[in-house]
Structure 1
């Protein structure tokens, strides 16, 4: 069976896609975003899972500004040198990094590092449910000057084209070149779109795979807690909201009206994945009359769902204390397992250290068609 990469969109549609590989460490990502947004254009960024783990705030910023993030492997290895197990582990780890950073599942399209792959790699990718995206290489990865990038890329501006550019510490000239390339695309009647939109033009609807961690509630009479308690009064909820706004959590709003938005978020029940929060289980960690953590739960049959949590100081011990609180609550409400969809790898490690049974697995509940609600 022949496996193919997708190198272009529908040639009858006046659209093209600007794509960017890798992920910058020293160069400001905003330089690329600003260049795109100057023309109200959205780009697709194929970044590594390692970059997403290091820069979850930037991953969130990229998506919140209307751009698209997709997988470029976890470590940026030459994928032709890997065994199938390691190859698939690269994909899985990137999906976990993506979901933990953004709260959203990763799309099922992928760009190979160095655009280097073989037939066997494509078969493994297909087995994982992915599409390989290639395109026309502008050569900017070599640190070319802006005008050379423009000259190289301009010949590829036609219906359905996918331009391969980079966003890393070498390609400092790419943002300046990008502005000229976008102008030329618009002058040729092309509409720059995200890769997901280009795929729809050839009859492919992007799909998403969600993950969860399931923890078996340990057999115990009671587990000792450190300052965790149920928050019952509206005054305590208001206090938690005001104090937690200063913790610097990625999820807290900024700008005009941010305090009001955050207070409303914490003082009203949330709904995620069709599960409504049980406000009687709303928990907080108090130290010397100040809040250091919170957790919000829902119940789905025999599962206690950890819907949302945050910490003033995200030490591992704080997470362990939260898991103990969750286990006590699960026992009281008759649940046999605890389910979480954020910080999964860290929770799994803490469970291993405590001797609890846990596993990170595909979230069949969401894969059955339930969408994550924002």
Structure 2
């Protein structure tokens, strides 16, 4: 049996070399380290678009008194919107849910009971989401594919749970603040000054001054050349990580496919 003797001096030199390598890596690749440390699961806040296209959305959780007025205003301007409804709201106002669907608006999920998803397990979240989906589908015949988390709250486990059942969580990048009951003129100014191509605007269907502000907002956006579409027509559909990615701001971006005949394209084909 051979016995190897390592001198103390050699151990010291080796330790010093390893430490130097570690420092060099940290200095040379701080962005890689930082990206890993801040990696998060994010909903879609907005979408990268070259054209002037955006979406407007309404959360329906409480009152019902303005729903038909909103439908009439949207019809006047030939605009289709996305309404995120709570399951309990569906139970209370099924005729409004049907009216929204019959008018061509998207009826999507806003949870079953407006619970704090951050406080629920993954199984509890998916059960709650599916309960609301069942109620919407029973009235409209269409099962929701999008959800807005109650209170806009989420964390990694909430987003992962939602995507595990094939649904996409949606936030917003333009908040009308209509829920604060600010004047209609202020709502209009906030929205029209902040909308950009790919924006998603947040309204509430029972907010006091939204019906007053909505016509001027729609007129302004249309005069700017914006096309307003439901969110399902705004977002990029496909498999996350393959067809699109979401950056650190929540903006959804398309992943460009490699050109035919390129090295990466050939390599991809060879693996199939």
TM-score of the aligned structures, taking structure 2 as reference length: 0.69
Partners of 2:178 and 2:208 within 8 A in 1: no
SS in structure 1 of the partner of residue 46 of structure 2: coil
Within 1, Cα distance between the matches of 2:137 and 2:153?
26
Is structure 2 residue 108 aligned with structure 1 residue 110?
A: no
Q: 1:56 aligns with which of 94, 102, 109?
A: 94
What is the deviation of 1:53?
1.7
SS in structure 2 of the partner of residue 107 of structure 1: coil
Is structure 2 residue 221 aligned with structure 1 residue 182?
A: no
Within 2, Cα distance between the matches of 1:26 and 1:131?
26
Match of residue 198 from structure 1: 234
Match of residue 209 from structure 2: 173
Is structure 2 residue 110 aligned with structure 1 residue 72?
A: yes
- Give the number of the structure whose alpha-carbon radius of gyration is greater: 2
Match of residue 148 from structure 1: 186
What is the deviation of 1:187?
1.4
Is structure 2 residue 163 aligned with structure 1 residue 126?
A: yes
What is the deviation of 1:29?
0.8
The CA deviation string for residues 317-346 of structure 1, in whole angstroms up to 9 with x for no partner, is xxxxxxxxxxxxxxxxxxxxxxxxxxxxxx
Within 2, Cα distance between the matches of 1:17 and 1:204?
19
Within 2, Cα distance between the matches of 1:162 and 1:30?
22
* Structure in which a larger fraction of residues adopt strand: 1
* Structure in which a larger fraction of residues adopt helix: 2
Q: 1:100 aligns with which of 130, 133, 138?
A: 138
Within 1, Cα distance between the matches of 2:205 and 2:163?
27
Within 2, Cα distance between the matches of 1:16 and 1:146?
21
TM-score of the aligned structures, taking structure 1 as reference length: 0.51
Q: Does 1 or 2 have the higher relative contact order (CA < 8 Å, sep 6+)?
A: 2
Partners of 1:53 and 1:101 within 8 A in 2: no
What is the deviation of 1:197?
0.8
SS in structure 2 of the partner of residue 155 of structure 1: helix
Match of residue 337 from structure 1: none
Q: Which runs of 5+ in 1 are unaligned?
A: 206-374
Q: Which runs of 5+ in 2 are unaligned?
A: 1-38, 240-272
What is the deviation of 1:189?
0.7
